[in-house]
Amino acid sequence: MDVFEAIKTRRSTRRFKSEDVSEEQVEQLLQAAIMAPSGGNMQPWDFIIIRDEEQKKALAKAALGQRFITTAPVVIVVCANKPRTARRYGERGAELYSLQDTSAATQNILLAATAMGLAGCWVGAFNDEAVSNVLKLPKNIRPVVILPIGVPGESPRMPPRISLREIIHNEKW
């Protein structure tokens, strides 16, 4: 599948088949993630792989009750290693660039998953402190995205998009 097809067909999937996602597939997704661009090539991402049912339940609770997280065979939590970017860019690196960079890595995972016949859902609505506690994250590591990944058990439709004419501004607003 070419990149444009992956972009067009990627959907936020909240239902998964019971099929497993292999270690090799997870590694392939993470290889795609680390190819993302990052400010100053600081690569401020760390990934936590969760397969344990109790851990997934705790994450779902921390994610404001989004129980579908527990139905995915694997969950990847994308974390921002703020000190890694702060070394070069100070507070702006820690508070902005690390989030931008981990978001780019997350999108790469989702596009790679689509190309591999897998699917996921970008979960950003969660209690940071609760997720940090569940995963025992160090103080300067911030959870950015919870990504349940699996073989899709649904085919969501493309939600409406704002017309390009409404959002493009040439030269000035």
Which mean pLDDT values do the consecutive 10-residue runs of the chain (173 residues) have?
A: 92 96 98 98 98 98 98 98 97 97 98 98 98 97 98 93 96 96
159 in a domain, yes or no? Answer: no
Neighbours of 128 (CB within 10 A): 12
Q: Scan for tokens 């995972």, then name that residue.
A: 109
**What pLDDT was estimated at residue 135?**
98
140 in a domain, yes or no? Answer: yes
169 in a domain, yes or no? Answer: no
160 in a domain, yes or no? Answer: no
164 in a domain, yes or no? Answer: no
Domain that holds residue 90: 21-154
Which residues, in sequence order, are CB contacts of 8 under 8 Å at separation 6+? none
How many domains are contained in the chain? 1
**What pLDDT was estimated at residue 122?**
98
12 in a domain, yes or no? Answer: no
CATH code, domain with 143: 3.40.109.10
**What pLDDT was estimated at residue 51?**
98
**What pLDDT was estimated at residue 8?**
93
- What are the C-alpha distances in Å from 4 to residues 7, 34, 135, 161? 5, 20, 35, 16
47 in a domain, yes or no? Answer: yes
SS (H, E, C) 88-110: HHHHHHHHHHHHHHHHHHHHHHH
166 in a domain, yes or no? Answer: no
